[in-house]
Amino acid sequence: MIKRKHILGGLAALLVAGVALAAGADLGQAQKQDTNWTAIAMFGIFVGITLWITKWAATKTKTASDFYTAGGGITGFQNGLAIAGDYMSAASFLGISGLVFGSGFDGLIFSIGWLVGWPVITFLMAERLRNLGKFTFADVAGYRFDAGPIRSFAACGSLVVVAFYLIAQMVGAGQLIKLLFGLDYIVAVSMVGIIMMTYVLFGGMTATTWVQIIKACMLLTGATFMALAVMLQFGFSPEAMFVKAVEVHSKHDAIMGPGALINDPVSAVSVGLALMFGTAGLPHILMRFFTVPSAKEARKSVAWATTWIGYFYILTFIIGFGAITNLIPNPADYFVGGELAKGLKGGGNMAAVHLAKAVGGDMFMGFISAVAFATILAVVAGLTLSGASAVSHDLYASVWRHGNVDSATELRVSRITTVCLGIFAVLLGIVFEKQNVAFMVMLAFAVACSANFPVLFMSVLWKDCTTKGAVAGGTVGLISSVALTIMSPAVWEASLGNPKGSAMFPYASSAIFSMTAAFAVIWIVSLLDRSAQAAKERALFPAQLVRSETGVGSSSASGH
């Protein structure tokens, strides 16, 4: 019985790590493994191909528009794959399959939360973004608002989200490389920084998009193969798979029902809001709507993205169960010291990687490891590009130079910013090496849904919204979401090491409060705003409405 307790304890710890990971890319303190040459060779091939694409993309990247939006020449189907690639990060692949491996059913709850934001983006935002925006989501709010304050705010919102996300990804990348390739942390982080900078610097959005598309295809192919291999073992009967999983898993039948993931209703709804609306405020996702030539293609992109992401989450669920049925009966091969109680080699998030070895041997495991790493690389490149465009297009060209700047200068500023962000990301990765950074992605989602999303939503859909209201509400959302998230148990107790019960904010997510506060402040301040500027902004709404609904006068692919 004592041994059983250990397993439960281990799995509970694993669940906590899994939840953190599902929300972020934190891979914990990974143990350095033996150098894995197959994985390194596979990854080398990926980098070779993508650098060759970057070289091709560089010949097509001549203007600021090429750099930010690939000249607007990406099709809906391609863009859908690229968006899906941005979303299917290493965190969702390794994290969700690890979560399913540890506690079964609970993994499904997270997958659903991550997907349901997409229809809402489609119904309310996608085509309006495409019709009003040019390079960044600040263009949308900047259409009728005072450029200085609204773009400064939007750039801050973007950069905060990008910074939190980048830290999580860089630290995740370092830990993952240690595990998968057996290289040093600093070598790993610097490598990510350099390769990512090369993509963005020379190939701009064209290279970033194609890297993402290739990675998405590799990930979907690999995951499909694994899920099929697992289903084949059970004659394509889910019931047979579940029977076996319940038999071998230490929690037995408990993996078939919801566990302790969500307890109080307030947290349940709040986490739901953050996942649902946070997606609609992530700058590296929003910028992808400007790479397609029309609203029609923008809609197609989200439809494809939703399809691929949903399909992928169903696969990760099968992969998680496949890991239970394949790995637990063979503790000698996959568990530390051959004991179930000591957990999987490399930690619970390695479930998918070990399963790759179980069903496809060393070569396939090398492939999956390389895909996992390529995933981080591609996501980091997208993040850096969206950060660079916030600085060069919003802050430099629009706020500082009042739009009087030629494309070549703007392009030069974006490239300088890219280098700065790359160096910044590597340094942050090194500084945060020993920290638990899972909460960084929670922070990114909290800020995205509480600051960026309300401003975007209200500026497009509410005629009485003014600059003052948007900036005030967005700032309240930004500050309250960061403050409440830091005071929540997951960060205050689990990450910052304060005693249990000392967290001042008891819920799992700030969204229900900070997002509501942002909307309320935008509403009240806008209503109270009686300035001449406010009257001018309200008068511009009808014209904005025509443009956002019909696309008349929006930047087309050619005029882009």
**Residues forming the site for other proteins (CB under 8 A):** 105, 108-109, 111-113, 115-116, 118-120, 122-124, 127, 238-239, 242-243, 246, 253, 256-258, 261-265, 268-269, 272, 276, 295-296, 299-300, 302-303, 306-307, 310-311, 313-314, 317, 542-543, 545-547, 549-553
Angle at CA 457, nearest 5°, toward 456 and 460? 85
Phi and psi angles of residue 335, each rounded to the nearest 5 degrees, phi first: -110, 150
What's the closest the beta carbon of residue 388 comes to other proteins, in angstroms?
30
Q: What is the smallest separation between the CB atom of 116 and other proteins, expressed in angstroms?
A: 5
Name the DSSP class of 343.
-
Nearer to other proteins, 49 or 543 (CB): 543
User: Whole-number minimum distance, CB 318 to other proteins, in Å?
Assistant: 10
Closer of 246 and 416 to other proteins (Cβ): 246
Amino acid, single-letter form, for residue 130: R
C-alpha Rg value of the chain to the nearest Å: 23
User: Is-contact 70 206, C-beta < 8 A?
Assistant: yes
Whole-number minimum distance, CB 343 to other proteins, in Å? Answer: 25
Find the shortest distance in angstroms from Cβ 312 to other proteins: 10
Q: Give the Å distances, CA to CA, from 69 to 103, 206, 297, 303, 337.
A: 41, 7, 14, 20, 51
Closer to other proteins by CB, 36 or 306: give it.
Answer: 306
**Least distance between other proteins and beta carbon 243 (Å):** 5
Q: Which is nearer to other proteins, 158 or 459 (CB)?
A: 459
Name the residue type at position 23. Answer: A
CA distances from 48 to 45, 259, 331 (A): 5, 44, 37
Query: How far apart, in whole angstroms, are the C-alpha atoms of residue 453 and residue 444?
Result: 12
State the Cα–Cα distance between residues 279 and 286, nearest whole angstrom.
9
By beta-carbon proximity to other proteins, the closer residue of 40 and 84 is: 84
Closest approach, Cβ 274 to other proteins, in A, equals: 12
In the complex with other proteins, which residue's Cβ is closer, 187 or 552?
A: 552
Phi, psi of 344 (to 5 degrees): -65, 150
In the block, residue with structure tokens 């528009």: 65
Q: Alpha helix (H) ranges present in 279-393?
A: 283-286, 295-327, 331-334, 351-389
> In this complex, which beta carbon is closest to other proteins, that of residue 264 or of residue 406?
264
